[in-house]
Amino acid sequence: MENKLYSKVLLVLVTIFLSTSYTNQLQLQSSQTHTLLRIKRLLNFPSILSTWNSNTDFCNTDSKASLTVVCYEETITQLHIVGETATTKLLPKNFSIDSFFATLSRIPSLKVLTLVSLGLWGPIPGKIASLSSLEIVNMSSNFLYGTIPQELPLLSNLQALDLDHNMFDGHLPDWLDSFPLLTVLNLKQNLFNGSLPDSLSSLTNMRVLSLSGNRFNGSVPDLSRLVNLQVLELDDNGFGPNFPRICNKLVTCVLRNNKFRSSLPDNMSSYYQLERFDISDNAFVGPIQLELFSLPSITYLNISRNKLSGMLFENLSCNSVLEEVDLSSNLLSGKLPKCLVSNFNDRSFLYGGNCFEETNQNQNQHEQSFCHTEAIAVGIVPNERKKHKRVSKTVLSFGIVGGIFGGFALVALVFSIIRRRKGKSMMMMMKNSQTKLISENAASGYTSKLITDAGYVSKTMNFGSVGLPPYRAFSLEEIMAATNNFDTTSFMGGEGSQGQMNRGQLKEGSLVAIRSVKLTKSYKTKDFMQHIEMISKFRHHHLVSVLGHCFEYYLDDANVRRIFIVFEYVPNGSLKSWISDRHYRKSLTWTQRIAAATGVAKGIQFLHTEIVPGVYSNNLKITDVLLDQNFVAKISSYNMPLLSKSPSFNKSVKSEDKSDIYDFGVMLMELILGRTIKSRNVETLKDLLQASIISDDEARRSIIDSSIRNACLDESLKTMMEICVRCLVKEMEDRPSIEDVLWNLQFASQVQDAWRGDSLSSDSSPLSPLPSRRMNFH
Ligand SMILES: *[C@@H]1O[C@H](CO)[C@@H](O)[C@H](O)[C@H]1NC(C)=O
Ligand SMILES: *[C@@H]1O[C@H](CO)[C@@H](O)[C@H](O)[C@H]1NC(C)=O
Ligand SMILES: *[C@@H]1O[C@H](CO)[C@@H](O)[C@H](O)[C@H]1NC(C)=O
Ligand SMILES: *[C@@H]1O[C@H](CO)[C@@H](O)[C@H](O)[C@H]1NC(C)=O
Ligand SMILES: *[C@@H]1O[C@H](CO)[C@@H](O)[C@H](O)[C@H]1NC(C)=O
Ligand SMILES: *[C@@H]1O[C@H](CO)[C@@H](O)[C@H](O)[C@H]1NC(C)=O
Ligand SMILES: *[C@@H]1O[C@H](CO)[C@@H](O)[C@H](O)[C@H]1NC(C)=O
């Protein structure tokens, strides 16, 4: 859909040019021929340009989508070169973006410049301003970095600027209004930050505004004057809190994964051209606008993972061309609309995680009370339900009283309502669990035999799990008390085969995280003996360690209904949130990053070598590494039996399996670059790191996370980059062993310490215990 629009816009623009230019039979000025051949050389002879030679009649060759030269009279007006997207590699180290633009500036008549997927790297030089006729600039999918040059406003004819998929950073300049003709601005997938300049509001010709996948935050400027705006893509940023003011001509509106937390505007019905509406993964509150379902053009509607409330009816009307509807994880109640349920046109309809009545088993719903209490908690009371009318009126009148007293009273009222409601549902759950289930008696059965078999318990104690209480079986009562009967406020996340996770507090006060795995087949306790024995070994300083387990049984046949696994609670958020979630936190220092990486590596070493049989293929991710209050990194998700998705568990273990090393390499890259990385980008970024290792100090620093740029010693940085690149090599056997990795991490940490130590005139020379063994890098 967006692509269609982009190409439509492009087509219109190109047609304008073609109508004013014509293919000329005259030969190109020989100076421009030379320039083109020089461009071929500077681009390192890409295969797309293999046909260019000194005899080529550039103005009269057939054009292809990926290679076009258009001339007017004797000069070039358009140059399109699109490399092979799938295999884009960085241009070699001797490529100079300055000489490249110096060469381009010998074609001052250029109006359209497309240089896509060519491996260009470096900052765009100010020289670009000498190409003052430029109207369309497309340099997407390269490795350009730095800020947008100050000289860009000199290109006052600019109509389209596409810098999608590069590594630009810094703020968007507030001179954007220097481009009154701008119709397309695509800055997707870069590292831009800060808030958007207000000057955006005056670009009234804008049709496509695409800023997805950056680090923008703050409110979206008023876009209601952009009457031509058709595509607005702001997803994966930190925008918020209010729904943007936009004109009703929008066709595509993507606000996914931001920090919006207002209600939706109540004039949604005027968005008659809207085809794609995606506001998922925010915290929008308030009533759902039922008009959304029947907008005349709507085909894709995704409001999942918000806090939208309200009731749907069976008789709701919806547009028959709706292809995908995702309402999941909101606070919606009522009945599923007939028009969505009927599987018309293979429509996909997701609605799990709400409070709908009479739904299909596969799309789990919460109790009615969940949506209601949550809706109150976010300050919105669904007014459809008669019996709660009184409450909503009271809240309203307190709201009107306002002021500090009003505020206190409101908070108190909401609390008492929540407490009362919770009390009720708790009682019901207790009754349920007592009639249906019997709890495990911790002092009998197989498990207690296992536990008292001190052999492995004392062994696990030696594994560095200092400070942890001994492994034990928990009783169901303990689990219920710890989680307040799985009260919704204890819910931490997770669903499906991995089971849901709840926070809890044990009687003696320690916090725990409890995973519950619901079993779908019939099993007896003895079927799990081997698993439990294995599970009890996952205890280490750098793992989120297991404290114990608990079985819950069906009363009728004593089959196991659920297994609870009790973990230590790690309070300080994920490693990811400490490097990339800058909206809330200060990010980790370089030293802390090396320490975190070392912790993860030690955790991996434990899993591979100290548990028997070794635990491999842990599918490690930066989101699954948690930090405790002392910033000790702990792996929270490993290939544990029961929870394991990997079928290789308990089969013959391949000790040469180095997929964890690769995953670790990705994590190192994320720590160095300061952002999460999609798997499809790992290969190109690896090449970038590789190139920067052999480049100079300044070039190395320019690509790394800006918040550590001036705080890491080059030798330390280089070592980390080298480890990272080595971990990511394709051939499994060429990746370093975890021991090698640890040695080098230690080296990186010690040179860094030594450097910092300089200024502290430290007496204990920190350089002396440097490990002597280093990896051999070419
Ligand atoms: C870069 O170096 C390669 C050989 O390593 C050479 O073939 C190429 O011409 C050089 N490119 C430039 C722009 O100097
Ligand atoms: C830039 O080039 C890419 C690849 O050819 C294309 O998909 C995109 O639509 C172009 N952008 C603009 C604004 O023309
Ligand atoms: C934005 O990025 C630039 C360059 O990466 C950095 O210097 C600046 O501190 C960042 N600003 C914010 C507010 O994060
Ligand atoms: C945007 O993020 C920066 C850096 O984290 C922060 O200083 C600033 O206050 C944020 N701005 C808004 C409007 O949230
Ligand atoms: C919808 O209402 C908001 C204010 O509530 C206003 O800013 C916006 O322009 C309106 N949009 C349309 C299309 O009427
Ligand atoms: C809706 O959005 C969520 C979160 O962004 C995403 O996971 C889900 O796949 C989307 N649903 C559909 C049907 O595209
Ligand atoms: C749809 O049903 C609801 C309640 O079931 C009723 O209040 C409403 O009037 C109905 N709407 C239409 C258009 O029939």
CA distance 347 to 319: 11
Residue indicated by tokens 């450097």: 755
Ligand 6 proximity of 302 Cβ (cutoff 6 Å): yes
- C-alpha 326 to ligand 6 mean position (Å): 7
The ligand that comes nearest to the alpha carbon of residue 282 is: 6
The pLDDT of residue 711 is above 60: yes
CA distance 191 to 542: 31
Question: Is the residue at 56 inside a domain?
Answer: yes
Ligand 7 proximity of 415 Cβ (cutoff 6 Å): no
| Average pLDDT of the residues in 166-174 | 91
Looking at 111-120, 199-208, 514-523, which range is the least confident one?
Answer: 514-523
The CATH number for 671's domain is: 1.10.510.10
With H, G, I as helix, E, B as strand and everything else as coil, classify residue 552.
strand
Question: Is the residue at 265 inside a domain?
Answer: no
266: left (phi over 0), alpha (psi -120 to 50) or beta: alpha
Q: Which atom of ligand 6 is nearest to the CA of 324?
A: 13
**Last residue of a domain, which of 354, 388, 422?**
388
Number of domains in the chain: 5
The CATH number for 444's domain is: 3.30.200.20
Of 678, 704, 709, nearest to 145 by C-alpha is: 704
**Best-predicted range by mean pLDDT among 70-74, 480-484, 581-585, 595-599?**
595-599
CA distance 544 to 548: 12
497 and 618 housed in the same domain: no
What per-residue confidence (pLDDT) applies to 389? 34
The pLDDT of residue 169 is above 70: yes
Question: Is the residue at 66 inside a domain?
Answer: yes
CA distance 207 to 184: 6
C-alpha dihedral sign at 83, 89, 92, 93: positive
The pLDDT of residue 412 is above 80: no
722 and 763 housed in the same domain: yes
What per-residue confidence (pLDDT) applies to 395? 31
Question: Is the residue at 501 inside a domain?
Answer: yes
Residue whose CB lies within 8 A of the most ligand 7 atoms, among 293, 311, 312, 313, for a mutation test: 313
What per-residue confidence (pLDDT) applies to 343? 64
Write the pLDDT tens digit of every residue in 510-568.
Answer: 899 999 988 877 777 777 777 888 888 899 999 999 999 888 887 777 788 888 999 99
CA distance 51 to 276: 42
The pLDDT of residue 628 is above 50: yes
Residue whose CB lies within 8 A of the most ligand 6 atoms, among 237, 304, 330, for a mutation test: 304
How would you classify the pairing of strands 191-194 and 167-170? parallel
Q: Greater confidence, 69 or 17?
A: 69
424 and 531 housed in the same domain: yes
Question: Is the residue at 645 inside a domain?
Answer: yes
Ligand 7 proximity of 338 Cβ (cutoff 6 Å): no
With H, G, I as helix, E, B as strand and everything else as coil, classify residue 680.
helix
Domain that holds residue 454: 411-567
The residues, ordered by sequence, that sit 6+ positions from 432 with a Cβ below 8 Å of its Cβ are none
Peptide bond into 382 cis (omega under 30): no
Q: Which atom of ligand 5 is nearest to the CA of 271?
A: 13
Q: Greater confidence, 343 or 232?
A: 232
**Best-predicted range by mean pLDDT among 337-346, 554-563, 653-662, 731-740?**
731-740
106 and 194 housed in the same domain: no
C-alpha dihedral sign at 637, 638, 639, 642: negative
Ligand 7 proximity of 317 Cβ (cutoff 6 Å): no
14 and 153 housed in the same domain: yes
Residue whose CB lies within 8 A of the most ligand 4 atoms, among 259, 581, 583, 585, for a mutation test: 583
627 and 661 housed in the same domain: yes
309 and 424 housed in the same domain: no
What per-residue confidence (pLDDT) applies to 656? 60
C-alpha dihedral sign at 15, 16, 17, 19: positive
- C-alpha 3 to ligand 6 mean position (Å): 19
The CATH number for 47's domain is: 3.80.10.10
Confidence of residue 384 (pLDDT cuts 50, 70, 90): very low
The pLDDT of residue 1 is above 50: no
588 and 494 housed in the same domain: no
- C-alpha 714 to ligand 3 mean position (Å): 21
Q: Which atom of ligand 4 is nearest to the CA of 584?
A: 5
Confidence of residue 461 (pLDDT cuts 50, 70, 90): very low
User: What ranges make up the beta strands (E) of 197-259?
Assistant: 208-210, 215-218, 231-233, 238-239, 252-254
Confidence of residue 378 (pLDDT cuts 50, 70, 90): low
Looking at 17-26, 336-345, 447-456, 745-754, which range is the least confident one?
Answer: 447-456
What per-residue confidence (pLDDT) applies to 339? 87
Contact 323, 343 (CB under 8 A): no
Of 213, 178, 222, 166, nearest to 193 by C-alpha is: 213
What per-residue confidence (pLDDT) applies to 423? 36
Ligand 3 proximity of 265 Cβ (cutoff 6 Å): no
Q: Greater confidence, 727 or 709?
A: 727
| Average pLDDT of the residues in 405-413 | 31
**Last residue of a domain, which of 333, 356, 388?**
388
538 and 625 housed in the same domain: no
Question: Is the residue at 313 inside a domain?
Answer: yes
What per-residue confidence (pLDDT) applies to 566? 93
Question: Is the residue at 278 inside a domain?
Answer: no
157 and 175 housed in the same domain: no
237 and 347 housed in the same domain: no
For residue 579, the Cα-to-chain-centroid distance in whole angstroms is 12
Structure tokens at 138: 């497309």
Residue whose CB lies within 8 A of the most ligand 4 atoms, among 172, 195, 217, 259, for a mutation test: 217
541 and 605 housed in the same domain: no
Question: Is the residue at 393 inside a domain?
Answer: no
The pLDDT of residue 106 is above 50: yes
